[in-house]
Structure 1
Amino acid sequence: MKIYRIDTPLEKKKLLKQLECDKSGVAIMSKKMETLLFVIKDMPVGAANILKQDALALGAELAVPTGVVTCSQTHYDAVLMGTPRQLGYLVRKEKAQPFGLKKLAKELESFLHESRHMTKIMGVVNANDDSFYPGSRYKERTAVEAIWKMIEEGADIIDVGGVSSRPGSEPVGADEELKRLVPIVDTIRREKLFERARFSIDSYTPEVVAYALENGFSIVNDITGLRDERLGVLAKSYGAAYIVMHMQGTPQTMQKNPHYDHVVLDVDRFFMERIERAEKIGLGREEIILDVGIGFGKTLEHNLMLLKHMKHFTHFGCEVLIGASRKSMIHKIDPAPVEERLPGTLAIHLESIRRGASIVRCHDVKEHRQAIRVFEAIEEGEIL
């Protein structure tokens, strides 16, 4: 008799089916095979005591500081843990409780109903001379040649932009941005490349976004995160998806001492606000894509925290995009010029996929396609 450890909670149903368990048993037992952890910040002491008792009664647990029982403070941080089944029961129970537990229950409920999306690769084409990675800079015909190459290498989406957003970069006028992009957009339409991949316009200029959407682009990639509602209206009118990215400040100021009270919660609050704004325009959550904005107004520590908690942002029900391709955070961990940061890029992107991201924005399509295929083969392989 031998034993080995299983460390694939996403494959729990597959494991039980391989054992030829009863169908109803698969549904019940799979919910017992995964423990979820949630940090709750600044919880009123009354709520902590009620939640502690209710969690214990269901077989779950709430870890709290020793002072909670004696109410020595008014608010505490805590860690809630339990299986999806236990926490589902807890959600229903807390909806009738005071001290803000009803609101907490609704937030917890959003984490228990996540959806999975097929992984997609987004190739990057920059029609400018100052993007931080020289290998992504193209003009007119060379841009179209690069697009064809990315499609052949397996890109699902091509993200085309005419203005650099690297730290310290300066904005350009709409006329100049259009001058850079119109020839590329027109060639994409003329060569019917929309039949081979989806195209995203990386811009926050209404005139540029409108031109791209009029000519077949179907995604708006907005680094300002819907600061200008006109962009959302354009996306809605053309049936386009919308990427809401978080950025603290502007490209000119974003890396000047970025600060957060708690980067995960602050970015979460930003997404909640912008999703509400998008929904008022008429965009559904299936049309909204979230990007935490690695390197956009974040220190290395902020970036690592966001990557570690990438799965957190799936609770909105939107797809999550990761874009850390060759960025300076890799250099800060292991010094290397931008041309030598592909290994670090792959490490970040594969780990982000494992933690819930489904769209990978990158410069190296071929290498990402191979890495993702190997990663998925491991995840989908037999367990027994």
Structure 2
Amino acid sequence: MVVEKLSNCIDLHRELKALGVDGGGVSILEDKAHFHLIRIRDLHVGAANILKQDALSIGADLAVPRGTVTASIPRVDALLIATERQLQQLVKKEKAQPFGLKALSVELESFCHLKHDEDASIMGILNANDDSFYHASRFQGSKAIERIETMIVEGADMIDLGGVSSRPGSIAVSAEEELSRVAPIIDALYEQKFYEKTALSLDSYEPLVIHYALERGFRIVNDITGLANDEVARLCGSYGATAVIMHMQGNPVNMQENPSYSSLIGDVELFFRERIAKAESFGIKDIILDCGIGFGKRLDDNLSLITHQSHFLRLGKKLLVGASRKSMINAISPSMSDDRLAGTLAIHLKAIEEGATIVRVHDVKEHAQAIKIWKAMRG
């Protein structure tokens, strides 16, 4: 007899099939190995007691604070622990319950049947400005085209071109100045038909610059203001472009001046829901969501958004994370050098594990290799 402890991160479906388990059994057993952890805030104590009993009746559980059973406090926070099948059963039970549990069932239902695509895409970064925070991402003229060609060979699925720095404290430039920086690169990419080789993205929120790029083969608009400008939304809709909606508190000048949230995950989700509705009202069909690591966030906020990426999967959109070489890495692990590649890889692999499907990176080759190795280890 040989006994082996297996990782919880293996491809369980493949393992069960290899054992010869029948189709129905694979589905049942696979479900038991994966569970939801769902935090519920400000729950009526009566609802908490009902939910606790209903959860226990189907084999799930609800962690509640001391004093909940005696209703010594009117409202409580709780943590639901349930498999996918148990969550579906619980949703049905709560639809007929009082104390706000019917509304809660709708929220819980949105976490059922979530699909996590682990085939992550790489967005390579190229800056046409001289003040981007990472100097090695700055290229102009023929060097920019060479760099883009290199990133495509290294494994980039899309290229994100920007002409204005959005680092904390940076000052915006005029749309005309921004266009003068990126237009030569856009023209060269168009002339050489790079739009047939890769997906081209423009990191901008200026309608003048966006219109110029969309006329010349660009199909993605990466807007750090999250479609705040109606004209940007109109352009994306009329050209059938993909819109990357990023969350930012404040603006690059003041965003890191004591940022705070009443409920981080909830606040970011509410922003996403509002901007998704706006995007769809302008006819935008393809939307990507970016929680905006480092844009009006404290270190703990950044870590929470990366760790809990899966929460946003219920919005039904692809998720992008861009933490490449950002200062949060040094905040966690101070270093005498500015080399933040190892920290970047750790963050992005965790983001992919939690549901991100696109990582925006400076180091394409290293990310392509890391993702390939990570996937191989997961089976």
User: TM-score, normalization: structure 1?
Assistant: 0.94
Of stretches 332-341 and 130-139 in structure 1, the one that deviates more from structure 2 is: 332-341
1:338 CA drift (Å) = 7.0
Give the direction of change, closer, same or farther, for the CA distance of 1:271–1:159 in structure 2 (3 Å limit).
same
Which residue of 1 is the match for residue 105 of structure 2?
A: 105
For 2:296, the aligned partner's letter is G
Which residue of 2 is the match for residue 207 of structure 1?
A: 208
1:15 CA drift (Å) = 1.6
Q: Contact (CA 8 Å) 2:9, 2:378: kept in 1 or not?
A: no
- Residue 326 of structure 1: SS of its match in structure 2? coil
Q: Contact (CA 8 Å) 1:174, 1:208: kept in 2 or not?
A: yes
For 1:26, the aligned partner's letter is V
For 1:304, the aligned partner's letter is L
1:8 CA drift (Å) = 3.4
1:10 CA drift (Å) = 6.3
In 2, distance between residues paired with 1:164 and 1:336?
A: 24
Q: Deviations over 1:97-135 (max 9, x none)?
A: 232222222221221222233211100011101000011
Q: Structure 1 runs of 4+ off > 3 angstroms? A: 336-339
Which residue of 2 is the match for residue 22 of structure 1?
A: 22
Q: Deviations over 1:119-165 (max 9, x none)?
A: 11100011101000011112222211111111111110000011100
In 1, distance between residues paired with 2:294 and 2:336?
A: 16
- Residue 113 of structure 2: SS of its match in structure 1? coil
Which residue of 2 is the match for residue 343 of structure 1?
A: 342
1:72 CA drift (Å) = 1.9
Pair 1:123-2:129 in alignment: no
1:295 CA drift (Å) = 0.7
Q: Deviations over 1:226-274 (max 9, x none)?
A: 2123222221221211111111100000011111123222212222222
In 1, distance between residues paired with 2:280 and 2:99?
A: 29
In 1, distance between residues paired with 2:364 and 2:337?
A: 16
Which residue of 1 is the match for residue 67 of structure 2?
A: 67
Which residue of 1 is the match for residue 325 of structure 2?
A: 326
Pair 1:158-2:164 in alignment: no
For 1:379, the aligned partner's letter is R
- Residue 224 of structure 1: SS of its match in structure 2? coil
Give the direction of change, closer, same or farther, for the CA distance of 1:176–1:338 in structure 2 (3 Å limit).
farther
For 1:272, the aligned partner's letter is R
Which residue of 2 is the match for residue 264 of structure 1?
A: 265
Which residue of 2 is the match for residue 370 of structure 1?
A: 369
1:297-312 aligned at under 5 Å gives the runs 297-312=296-311
Pair 1:171-2:188 in alignment: no
In 1, distance between residues paired with 2:336 and 2:164?
A: 22
Q: Deviations over 1:68-107 (max 9, x none)?
A: 2222222110010111001111112212223222222222
Q: Contact (CA 8 Å) 2:84, 2:113: kept in 1 or not?
A: no
- Residue 11 of structure 2: SS of its match in structure 1? helix
1:280 CA drift (Å) = 2.6
For 1:100, the aligned partner's letter is G
Q: Contact (CA 8 Å) 1:9, 1:34: kept in 2 or not?
A: no
- Residue 31 of structure 1: SS of its match in structure 2? helix
In 2, distance between residues paired with 1:160 and 1:107?
A: 38
For 2:198, the aligned partner's letter is A
Q: Contact (CA 8 Å) 2:238, 2:283: kept in 1 or not?
A: no
In 2, distance between residues paired with 1:212 and 1:107?
A: 40
Q: Contact (CA 8 Å) 2:44, 2:74: kept in 1 or not?
A: yes
Give the direction of change, closer, same or farther, for the CA distance of 1:35–1:116 in structure 2 (3 Å limit).
closer
1:167 CA drift (Å) = 0.5
- Residue 116 of structure 2: SS of its match in structure 1? coil
1:179-328 aligned at under 5 Å gives the runs 179-284=180-285, 287-328=286-327
In 2, distance between residues paired with 1:179 and 1:251?
A: 21
Instruction: Return 5+ residue gaps in structure 1 as ranges.
Output: none
Paired-residue identity, %: 54
- Residue 67 of structure 1: SS of its match in structure 2? coil
- Residue 243 of structure 2: SS of its match in structure 1? strand
- Residue 68 of structure 1: SS of its match in structure 2? coil
Pair 1:142-2:143 in alignment: yes
1:54 CA drift (Å) = 1.4
Of stretches 132-141 and 225-234 in structure 1, the one that deviates more from structure 2 is: 225-234
- Residue 7 of structure 2: SS of its match in structure 1? coil
Which residue of 2 is the match for residue 41 of structure 1?
A: 41
Instruction: Return 5+ residue gaps in structure 2 as ranges.
Output: none
1:9 CA drift (Å) = 4.9
In 2, distance between residues paired with 1:108 and 1:232?
A: 31
1:348 CA drift (Å) = 0.8
Q: Contact (CA 8 Å) 2:237, 2:283: kept in 1 or not?
A: yes
Give the direction of change, closer, same or farther, for the CA distance of 1:218–1:8 in structure 2 (3 Å limit).
farther
Measured on the aligned residues, the alpha-carbon RMSD in Å equals: 1.5
